[in-house]
Amino acid sequence: MQVEPAQPCQFGSGGSLFGLYHAVAGRARAAVLLCPPLGQNMIRSHRVYRQLADALAQQGIAALRFDYFGTGDSAGASEESDWVRCVADTVTAAAELRARSGCTRLLGFGARLGGAIALEAAPAARLAELLLWDPVLDGHEYVTGLDAMQEELRVDPMRFSTPRTREDAAGQWLGFPVGAELRGQLEGWRAAPAAVPVRVFDSLPAEAGADRYAQLGTDAEVVALSSTASWDVLDRLEHAILAPDLVRAVVDQLRVAA
Amino acid sequence: MSTERAFRFGRAHHLVGVAGLPEPAAPTAPVGVIVLNAGMVHRVGPFRLHVEITRRLNASGYPTLRFDLSSLGDSSAADESRSQAQQVNADVADAMSLLASHSGCSRFVLLGLCSGAQNAHGAAIDEARVAGAIFLDGYAYRTLGFQLRHYLPRLWSAERWHRFISRSLQARASQGDDVFAVRFPPREQVQRELAAMLDRGLKLRFIYSGGVTRYFNHPRQFRECFGRLADRPQISARLFAGTDHTYALRVDRQRLLDDITTWLRDNFPVSGGSNP
pLDDT for B169 equals 72
pLDDT for B154 equals 74
pLDDT for B172 equals 67
Distance of CA B92 to the CA centre of its chain: 13
Residue A83 to residue B138: CA distance in whole angstroms: 38
Residues 195-254 in B contacting A (C-alpha not used; CB under 8 Å): 210-211, 213, 241-246, 248-252
Residue A244 to residue B5: CA distance in whole angstroms: 32
- Complex ipTM value: 0.96
The answer to whether B13 faces chain A, any CB pair under 8 Å, is yes
Strands, sheet with B108-113, edge to edge from the N-terminal-most edge strand: B2-9, B15-22, B64-68, B32-35, B108-113, B130-136, B203-209, B235-240
Domain ranges of chain B: 2-143+181-267
Out of 1.10.2020.10, 3.30.230.70, 3.30.300.30, 3.40.50.1820, the CATH code matching B2-143+181-267 is: 3.40.50.1820
Average pLDDT over residues A92-101: 98
Please give the residue of chain A at the shortest CA–CA distance from B180.
Answer: A238
Average pLDDT over residues A103-131: 97
3-state secondary structure of A38: coil
pLDDT for B28 equals 81
Which chain A residues have a beta carbon less than 8 Å from that of B46?
Answer: 43, 175, 238
Judge contact between B70 and B77, C-beta under 8 A.
yes
Q: Domain A7-138+193-257 belongs to what architecture?
A: 3-Layer(aba) Sandwich (3.40)
pLDDT for B274 equals 45
Inspect the interface and report whether the beta carbons of B179 and A238 lie closer than 8 Å. yes
For residue A8, give the nearest of B8, B76, B241 by CB distance. B8
Residue B252 to residue B241: CA distance in whole angstroms: 10
- CA B116-B117-B121 angle, to 5 degrees, is 115
Residue A81 to residue A258: CA distance in whole angstroms: 33
pLDDT along chain B (276 residues), means of 10: 89 97 82 97 98 97 97 93 94 98 95 98 97 98 89 75 72 58 87 98 98 94 95 97 97 98 97 55
For residue B244, give the nearest of A72, A160, A235 by CB distance. A160
Please give the residue of chain B at the shortest CA–CA distance from A167.
Answer: B251
For chain A, percent of residues with pLDDT exceeding 90? 84
